[in-house]
Chains A and B, each alone.
Chain A
Amino acid sequence: AQSVSQHNHHVILSEAASLELGCNYSYGGTVNLFWYVQYPGQHLQLLLKYFSGDPLVKGIKGFEAEFIKSKFSFNLRKPSVQWSDTAEYFCAVISNNAGNMLTFGGGTRLMVKP
């Protein structure tokens, strides 16, 4: 079955630490990839997206993600996290092999300690 996996369910970091959240998908075909963030008590917001071209995409708030097609991965990174990055992060994939429906990973809860 086609799926999106986020292997880290909970991550705790201190401020200024570097962040990398994993995302792997099992879809074939042409994919578009997204990272969404959900701050406590808020709705999901788009962090960044990959459609084509440069596999290293930059999003808001200093986040970036790298699409590695051979590894079916789209990991999210940030060099130095802040307390305000505490949130839940969702990877999502849409594929022409899956009816163009957006499929989400299970999410990663990030807590940044001040």
Chain B
Amino acid sequence: NAGVTQTPKFQVLKTGQSMTLQCAQDMNHNSMYWYRQDPGMGLRLIYYSASEGTTDKGEVPNGYNVSRLNKREFSLRLESAAPSQTSVYFCASSDGQGRSQPQHFGDGTRLSIL
């Protein structure tokens, strides 16, 4: 079982460049999430999608856009990368948005903006 798959695993960008991070899950989960992980700050929610066709802002959405392409895929786009967006990005999915559903995480994308 692949679970949650993220591509790429590593990327270096120059300030102002654009980039799309891809995420796909094979668990037939309804809800998907994008987080960023920064030292000492845990994971912060960027955007989430409670179900196919819906997306909502999380705690730190500025500078990002998302697309829930279908039930399996949820992409995160940086239109004009900034050094402050240097981080590790994690995609996650869960079976419903209910409070009792634990989230399953991908391996992360380490993104550096120069």
> A6 to chain B: which residues have CB within 8 Å?
42
Tell me which residues from 28 to 51 in chain A have a Cβ below 8 Å from any Cβ of chain B. 30-32, 34, 36, 42-46, 49, 51
The yes or no answer to A74 lying at the interface (CB within 8 A) is no
Structural contact, A49 and B42, CB atoms closer than 8 A? no
Structural contact, B98 and A100, CB atoms closer than 8 A? yes
The distance in angstroms between the C-alpha atoms of A32 and B41, with both chains bound, is 20
Could you give 13 example pairs across A and B, Cβ below 8 Å? A30-B99, A32-B100, A42-B107, A44-B90, A44-B92, A90-B42, A95-B99, A100-B99, A101-B59, A104-B44, A106-B40, A106-B42, A107-B40
12 extra interchain contacts, Cβ-Cβ under 8 A, other than A43-B4, A51-B99, A101-B48?
A9-B40, A32-B100, A43-B107, A44-B43, A45-B105, A46-B103, A90-B42, A100-B98, A101-B58, A104-B35, A104-B43, A104-B44
Residue ranges of B at the interface with A (Cβ–Cβ < 8 Å):
4, 33, 35, 40-45, 48, 58-59, 90, 92, 97-100, 102-103, 105-108
